[in-house]
Chain A
C-alpha cells in the first residue's frame, strides 16, 4: 500500500484457483509486499482492471503468507470478472483493513464457529490459526451449513478439521439429496438441537443476515451473553478507509470500526442494524 495514497493497489499474482461450489471459487494470490501482515477477520480491497474494486474477506490465516486465499462468490461486477481469471493472471489488492477478531482474548477458551454459505470464508482463518496453535485454545466446534451439499465450501478441509484434535465438525444443508446422508435443516435450528454450553466459550458467526439474526437469538436462548457472541458484518463497504460514507452505521463505519463486532457492540450500535437485534 502506498504510504501517501490509500487508494493505490499493488499487484498480486494468482497462484491457484479452486472451484468450491458452482458459484464460489478460492483464489490463492501471492503477496510480494514483505510488510504485509493481516489478522483473522480482516479484509482487503480487490481490484480488477476496468471492472472495479470490492471488499473481500481474507479466508486464510497469516501463517499461509506469502500467499493468501480469497474465497469469492460470484455476485456482482467485480466478482463476476474475477471468476474469469486463471493462475498467472494479476489482480490488484490494497489492505489489510478492518478490525480483526480479538483472538488474543480467546486464549484457553472454547471456540464455537457457526458459518453459513460463503460466511465460512472469514471464519476459516480463525479455525486454521487455532489448529496451528492448538494448545492455546480449548475445544473447537464448527457448525457449518449451506443451501445444498454442492454449496458447501472447503469440502476437503472440512474433512481434515473433523479429524483434528479436540475438534468437532457439524455440517447441515437446507435441502439434502444425492449422496448426502448428513443432517438436513437450517443452521440456527441445528445449533439449538446441538445445544452447546456457553461455559468458557466464545461463539463466532458469519453467514447470510437472516441466518445471523436467528443464530444470535438461538445463542441468547442458550444463555450466551452478548459479549460472548462475535460476528462480522461484511456489507456495504467500498473505499475501505472510512471516507466514502457508504458503510456508515450510526457514528461507526463497518470498514474501520468493524467488520468484526461483538453482539454487545451491535446492540449499542446504530438502530440501523435493527434487523439483527
Chain B
C-alpha cells in the first residue's frame, strides 16, 4: 500500500499520459458525470457518487465496426481493425469493475473469445476509486461488489482526508506507480481506510439476493410480471446503463459502392425488436415477457449457465434511470414475497 496526497494525483495522471497511455476518467459534462478521455492537462472529476454509465463502453463500445468489406478484384476480403492502444480506466467504482471482471470477462473471454473485447481488455489498466458515500439506490455490499474491492484491480484508491491510500493489485498496477516516490501508509491511515469503507457500507441499502433464484424458478406464470411491466415504457434504459448487460445486434452498413461495414451495437431485451426474426415473428411480443426475461436472466439464467453470483452488481443504475420507477430491489422483494405462493 502507498499514500498519495490529493495534490499529487495530477502528477500520476500526467505520468501515465507521458507513458503514451490513453487515460479515461470521470468528467463533469454539463452536470452529468461521464467517463471520457482526459485530454492533455485535463484532470478527472473526483466528487461524484457514480457515473451515469458504467465504463463498459471502453471495452465493448455502444457501436463499433467489427468487419470491413472492401472489394479486391472480383472477390471481397474482410478485414478487421483492432484498437490496441494502452488505456487506463481511472476512477471506476467497485461495482462497475465487478461488472467487467465477473460478467463481461466471463462472456467475452470464454470460448470463443471475442477478439475486439479481448484486445481492449488486455490493454486496459483498471484504477478503482472506492466509494465514500452511497445514494438511496446503491446496494453493492449485498452483491459483494463494493464499496471497495479485495481483488480484481490494478490500483485501488481510497480517499482518506487529504490523501488517497493506494492499494496495488497487480504487477501492472505496480508499473503504473513506477518512478514515483510514494510513502507507505501508517497504521492510522490504514485504520482510517477501513473506517471510510465500513461507514459507506453501513449506509448502503440492503437487497438480499441469496436464494432468490430458487423462488423465481416457480414464478414464470405469476402475475408479478404483468404488474411490474405496467410501469415499463420499454425504453431499454435499464439494459443500457447495466454493467452486466452485454446483448448486441449486428448490422451491415454500406459506406460506398462496394465498401460496407458490419457494425455491432448494444441491444436491449426490453425492446420489441430484440427477438424479431426474418418474416416478422417476434417471440417475446408481450411487454411483460420481455421484462420477465430481464429479471430471469439476471437472477436465474446467468447463474445457471455460468455459476457464480447473480448478474447484478448493486450499482442501482437501472432503478435510478427507470422512467416508470421500476426498482430492482423492490422487484426482488416482490419475488421473495411470492415464495411458496406460486400460481403454477
Which A residues lie at the B interface, using CB under 8 A?
A: 4-9, 11, 47-54, 73, 75-79, 90, 92, 235-236, 238-239, 241-246, 248, 250-252, 270-272, 274
B330 within 8 A of A: no
Contacts A50-B254, A235-B277, A250-B304 given; indicate if A245 touches B248 (C-beta within 8 A). yes
Kindly list chain A residues whose C-beta atoms are within 8 Å of the C-beta of B252: 48-53
Asked if B301 contacts A250 (CB within 8 A), the reply is yes
CB distance from B156 to the nearest CB of A (A): 30
Kindly list chain B residues whose C-beta atoms are within 8 Å of the C-beta of A90: 74-76
Asked if A53 contacts B262 (CB within 8 A), the reply is yes
Which B residues lie at the A interface, using CB under 8 A?
A: 66-67, 69, 74-76, 78, 80, 107-108, 112, 114-115, 220-221, 246-254, 258, 260, 262, 267, 269, 274-275, 277-279, 281, 283-284, 289, 293, 296-297, 300-302, 304-305
Q: B67, B247, B248, B296: which contacts A8 (Cβ < 8 A)?
A: B67
Q: Which of A47, A48, A92, A245 has the most C-beta atoms of chain B within 10 angstroms of its own C-beta?
A: A245
Contacts A8-B78, A243-B108, A270-B301 given; indicate if A52 touches B250 (C-beta within 8 A). yes
Main secondary structure of the interface of B (DSSP, over half): mixed
Kindly list chain B residues whose C-beta atoms are within 8 Å of the C-beta of A242: 112
Q: Which of B67, B267, B269, B293 has the most C-beta atoms of chain A within 10 angstroms of its own C-beta?
A: B67
Asked if A50 contacts B275 (CB within 8 A), the reply is no
Kindly list chain A residues whose C-beta atoms are within 8 Å of the C-beta of B247: 244-246
Q: Which of B251, B283, B293 has the most C-beta atoms of chain A within 10 angstroms of its own C-beta?
A: B283
Main secondary structure of the interface of A (DSSP, over half): loop
Q: A4, A5, A49, A241: which contacts B69 (Cβ < 8 A)?
A: A49
Q: How far is the CA of A271 from the CA of B253 in the complex (A)?
A: 36
Q: List 29 A-B contacts (CB under 8 A).
A: A6-B115, A7-B115, A8-B67, A8-B78, A11-B75, A48-B252, A49-B258, A52-B250, A52-B251, A53-B262, A54-B278, A236-B275, A236-B277, A238-B249, A238-B250, A239-B250, A243-B107, A243-B108, A244-B249, A245-B246, A245-B267, A246-B247, A248-B297, A250-B300, A251-B300, A251-B302, A251-B304, A252-B305, A272-B283
Asked if B114 contacts A243 (CB within 8 A), the reply is yes
Asked if A50 contacts B293 (CB within 8 A), the reply is no
Kindly list chain B residues whose C-beta atoms are within 8 Å of the C-beta of A76: 277-279
Q: How far is the CA of A243 from the CA of B60 in the complex (A)?
A: 12
Q: Which of B74, B115, B246, B252 has the most C-beta atoms of chain A within 10 angstroms of its own C-beta?
A: B252
Q: B78, B107, B108, B274: which contacts A9 (Cβ < 8 A)?
A: B78
Asked if A78 contacts B278 (CB within 8 A), the reply is yes
CB distance from A207 to the nearest CB of B (A): 14
Kindly list chain B residues whose C-beta atoms are within 8 Å of the C-beta of A274: 220
Q: How far is the CA of A75 from the CA of B280 in the complex (A)?
A: 8
Q: How far is the CA of A243 from the CA of B264 in the complex (A)?
A: 12
Task: Determine the residue in chain A with the shortest Cβ distance to B108.
Answer: A243
Kindly list chain B residues whose C-beta atoms are within 8 Å of the C-beta of A270: 301
Kindly list chain B residues whose C-beta atoms are within 8 Å of the C-beta of A11: 75-76
Q: How far is the CA of A183 from the CA of B247 in the complex (A)?
A: 46
Kindly list chain B residues whose C-beta atoms are within 8 Å of the C-beta of A9: 78
